[in-house]
Structure 1
Amino acid sequence: MPENTGLKFTMPAMRILENEHRYLSFLMEEWHALVLWFEHDQPVLEESRTQLHKLRKAILEFTGPLKKHTVKEETFFFPLLGSYIGFEQGPLVGIQEEHREIDGYIGHFLHYTEGNIDMLPLEDIRAAVKDTGEAFEVLTVHFVKEETVIYPMAEHQLSAKDKERLSQQLNTLIT
């Protein structure tokens, strides 16, 4: 019997993805604290630029593991589950759209904070930071949807052979 790790799923592949969500959530909390600083404080320009440098660094450190996690889901997990439940409608369609939405928010932030941050006016800084706040919200709900709908569906639908194959495919690091 596996020790109590706080993970909900028994299927190794789903435990891998769930554990990755825990790590990604930890990283998100770090950069979300900076987003909240912008939302709740009345920052002055110089301090905002300093915080923006920190936020950009944290987002860049987050995007690598997020991308690896997303690629694993889209390359191995979603196609397999889709072969059982379909691709045209249903939860996989929405989940994949959220992947694009998250990528859009983060990409927009990174694009607008590229170059010399020390030249950005406060209004542009706040607008860019808003994208990371939106990304955080979508990611938070997205993880809940995957863990309450998609992952349980896989545990119940996939054959033993497919569960084993998926576990082998997903058993790679995202760091």
Structure 2
Amino acid sequence: MSNDTGLKFSTPAMRILENEHRYLSYLMGQWHTAVLWFEQDNISLDEGRARLQELRGAIMDFIIPLNKHTAKEEEHFFPLLGQYIGFEQGPLVGIQEEHREIDGYIGHFLHHTAEGTQLNSVEDIRAAARDAGEAFEVLTVHFVKEETVVFPMAETLLSPRDRERLSGKLNTLIT
């Protein structure tokens, strides 16, 4: 039996975050299919509204583990790595800005699709779905940046003691 999990990182803390990225990417793939549906021609207003509410439900389910994952990074990982590389410039600044950008797109989508909100045209519905699509795109690039820049940096720079402490703090469920 092979123990190969397909994970790239060797330290437990980075493996936890990488594995969470895998799970979140899987969930994103499910709702991104719904986003792409809105790109087709000849969508009826009623069907568009119904599909948008389904998309909203999927994103509502998605943001629970996303928020838990992001909180782990913001509360434990970034402050620790920042002690090694600084907080004023560099990759942590951009990564944290992306967290805010993702929250903005998802928040905008949820605001415009809230119960009682009546989207009055197919174009209004498509515009709302585009916010979800933008969140997907930013998240996809964000995960790549973390896994190609920030996580390898942490594996290299963090002391064995800090890696062990971080692993203990990150070893919680996001579901």
Equivalent in the alignment of 2:6 = 6
Aligned residue number for residue 166 of structure 2: 166
| Deviation string, structure 1 residues 110-168 (Cα, Å, up to 9, x no partner) | 01111235x32222211111100100000000000000000000000000000000000
Give the equivalent residue in structure 2 for 1:51: 51
Mapped partners of 2:3, 2:84: distance in 1: 31
1:46 alignment partner AA: D
**Partner residue, 1:72:** 72
- TM-score using structure 2 length: 0.96
- 2: CA distance between counterparts of 1:34 and 1:54? 8
- The secondary structure found in structure 2 opposite 1:92 is helix
Q: Which letter maps to 2:166?
A: L
Q: Partners in 1 of 2:57 and 2:88 — Cα distance?
A: 38
2:68 equivalent to 1:104: no
What displacement does 1:46 show?
A: 1.0
In structure 2, list runs of 5 or more residues that go unmatched.
none
Letter paired with 1:154: A
Give me the identity figure in percent: 71
Partner SS, residue 40 of structure 1:
coil
**Corresponding residue for 1:133?**
133
Q: CA deviation at 1:66?
A: 0.2
Q: Cα distance, 1:43 vs. partner?
A: 1.1
* TM-score, normalised with respect to structure 1: 0.96
Rounded to whole Å, the distance in 2 between the matches of 1:40 and 1:91 is 37
1:120 aligns to what?
119
Other-structure match for 1:148: 148
2:32 — aligned with what? 32
Q: Which runs of 4+ in 1 moved over 6 A?
A: none
- C-alpha distance in 2, partners of 1:92/1:29? 26
**Cα drift, residue 101 of structure 1:** 0.0
Of residues 162-171 and 35-44 in structure 1, the stretch that sits farther from structure 2 once superposed is: 35-44
Q: How far apart in 2 are the matches of 1:42 and 1:164?
A: 55
Partners of 1:10 and 1:40 lie apart in 2 by 43
Q: How many angstroms apart in 2 are the aligned matches of 1:10 and 1:110? A: 37
CA deviations on 1:69-91 (whole Å, 9 max, x unpaired) are 00000000000000000000000
CA distance in structure 1 between the aligned counterparts of 2:77 and 2:165, rounded to whole angstroms: 10
Aligned pairs, how many? Answer: 173
Deviation at 1:50, TM superposition (A): 1.2
